[in-house]
Each structure stands twice: as structure tokens, then as C-alpha cells.
Structure 1
Amino acid sequence: MRVEFINPFITSLINVMKTMAQLDLQPGKPKKKLDSLARGDVSGLIGMVGPQTKGSMSITFDQGLALEVMRRMLGEAPDELNEEVTDMVGEITNMVTGGAKRILGEEGYEFDMATPIVVSGPNHSISHKTEGMKLMMPFTCDQGRAVIEICFE
């Protein structure tokens, strides 16, 4: 997997969280992901297909962070994950992928985005439908943790 495919997603996630929820995410160390277990409580997963490559990207949030993002973005403060929170995670997944698509488009890489799916619950799994290495990038802030996974063929 090439770094020019990864950095736009990292940049886009940091930007979306800063502009939409006034949260500063601090990136951790990337590592290879060898299983399908999500590293949080709610995940948005989106597929991408283009002439040069195909792949998928997911964003997983700890429940506390997802609820705080909901409060900051929409002014609602649910006590637990619900349909509105999962809808918001799907929208964030769309925004992050759209931002990365714009950056990659400037570099000559084009792809179409699928509709994101959202999965929640303790110990849920994420199934990337592409063959290729999965990279996992953790982020932290005072309100919790998020993890982005990227897989490109």
C-alpha cells in the first residue's frame, strides 16, 4: 500500500473532526491489521472503486467519542448509541472519504464511493472486501479514541 493513498484519509479525518466537531485528534502509530475485530464501538465502512485501484476505508469510534461528536455537531446528547448516532457515523465516513477523494483527485487518482454501512456494538467486526494489506491508524483526544482502517489492492 502506498503512502499517497493513506495520508489523504488521515488528513481528511483530522480536518472533518476539527471543523465539524471542534475536536483535535492526535494520530498514533500506524500498524498492520491482521484480524477483522473493530477497535471501538461503532464503525462506518465504505468501499471505493476506480480505474487505478479499489479499496475500502473504515472509521471506528469509542462510544464516548461518538456521543461527544454527536453533541458537538448536532446539539443532541444521547446516553447510548442509537440510530441518530449511527447515521452521524455514516455521514462522517462519507465526509472523510469525500475529502480524501478530492485530495487524491488532485494527484490523478479517481474513484467512486459506495454508500457507507455502519456497524455497532461491542466486539463487532469489519469486513474489508478487497484483497490487500489493512493498515490501522489510531487517533486519540480527551473524549476518546478513533481508529481508521484503510485497505487498497
Structure 2
Amino acid sequence: MMPASARSQHQATTSSRGKVVFDKRFITPFLVTTKKVVATMAGIEVAAQKPELVKIRDMVGHIASVMPMATPNVEGHLTMSFMIPTLLELTSKMVMEECTKVDQLVLDTAAELTNMVAGGAKAMLERIDFDFNMTRPVVYQSAHFGDIPYTGKSKIRVPYLISGGAFFIELSFIHK
């Protein structure tokens, strides 16, 4: 639970109930952790590109891994979406063997990367008294993006580029 002083500061810098939360304190830990996870697990240095605000159902990529997250006052999700060549490259680097097609290992890699990014961000957020509950990530292929149970009306999308293409971090949180 957030201390009263942090709660009042948090309320002063974020939106009212039911509104989307775009608080830099929520977003930065995900960006920092993404860079660390990809560097550690795949040996690839990445940098966040320019973030953009998009409609919640505006999806990019071919495969998306979605991690629902919630606090007593805020709920939302982290989505990592990947172009197929990008996810194949990341998986190949992580397992140290060439992956040439989307199979269960590649889908599991999408989920595991999302889980590691969410876990690292959660640890950073706990230091400022935001304690998120998380569940397991769910992986969707593009034909099923319409099934993703999103919260809110918009999200922040941050692209990352590697030699195999692009992947994206998408974040959306709303006040309950």
C-alpha cells in the first residue's frame, strides 16, 4: 500500500478515476527493464525510440504477449508485440540456435520476455510504493489480436529496433 504522502503526490500527478494514467513513474521502469532484459538474455543493445500515444486496439506486429497488471487503485497491461523476424532473432540469440519458424519455443520466448520485463519493472515500482499484482502473460498471434482484453481507450507504444526488425512495448493503465 502506498503511504499517504506518496498517495497525495500520486493523485496530484495523475488522472481521475476511469481515466488513463500516463505517469512517467509508471512508464520509465518498463523502458529501463526492457533494455536490460534484451541485453542480458539476447546480447543485443537496444534503445527506446520515440513513444507515441495510440488507440487501445491499434496493434502492430505479428505476435503479442500481454501481461495484465493491477494495484488497488490502478489496472492495466504491458504488451510486448513483435514482428516475426524480430522474435525469431531474439529467440535464436536466447537459445543459441537458429530459429526459422514460429513454434511453441518462439511463442514461449515472447511470454518469457514479457514476464521478465514486467518482473523487473515491478521490482523498480515497489521501491516507490507501487505494488502491482501480475498474472501470467498470454500470447496472441495477429489473427487473434481482437481477443485481447484491454483496459482503457489509449496506450503508449514505444518501438525498439534490432537487425531483425522491430518490437514494441505498449503500456496502458487506468484508475479504477
User: Contact 1:38–1:125 (CA<8 Å) still a contact in 2?
Assistant: no
Backbone CA RMSD of aligned residues: 1.7
Change (3 A) 1:114 1:45: same
What is the match of residue 121 of structure 2? 100
Q: Percent identity?
A: 27
Check 1:113–1:123 CA distance in 2 against 1; reply closer, same or farther (3 A cut): closer
Q: Secondary structure at the match of 1:149?
A: strand
In the superposition, the TM-score normalised over structure 1's length comes to 0.92
Distance 1:139 1:79, change over 3 A: same
Partner of 1:49: 70
Q: Which residue of 1 is the match for residue 101 of structure 2?
A: 80
Deviations 1:49-100 (A, max 9, x none): 1123111010011111111111111123221111110011101110000000
- Greater gyration radius: 2
Change (3 A) 1:130 1:6: same
Structure 1 window deviating more from structure 2 (130-139 vs 103-112): it is: 130-139
Unaligned runs of 5+ in 2: 1-21
Q: Which residue of 2 aligns with 1:137?
A: 158
Distance 2:149 2:164 in 1: 27
Contact 1:68 1:143 survives alignment (8 Å):
yes
Whole-Å separation in 2 of the counterparts to 1:34 and 1:6: 17
Q: 2:81 aligns with which of 42, 60, 72?
A: 60
Q: Unmatched 5+ residue regions in structure 1?
A: none
1:29 maps to which of 40, 44, 50 = 50
Q: Would you say the 8 A contact 2:56–2:152 is kept in 1?
A: no
Letter in 1 for 2:57: S
SS of the aligned residue for 2:34 comes to: helix
Secondary structure class of the residue paired with 2:45: coil
TM, length-normalised to structure 2: 0.80
After alignment, is 46-55 or 126-135 more displaced?
A: 126-135
Whether the 8 Å CA contact 1:48–1:114 is kept in 2: the answer is yes
**How far apart are the structure 1 equivalents of 2:124 and 2:75?**
16
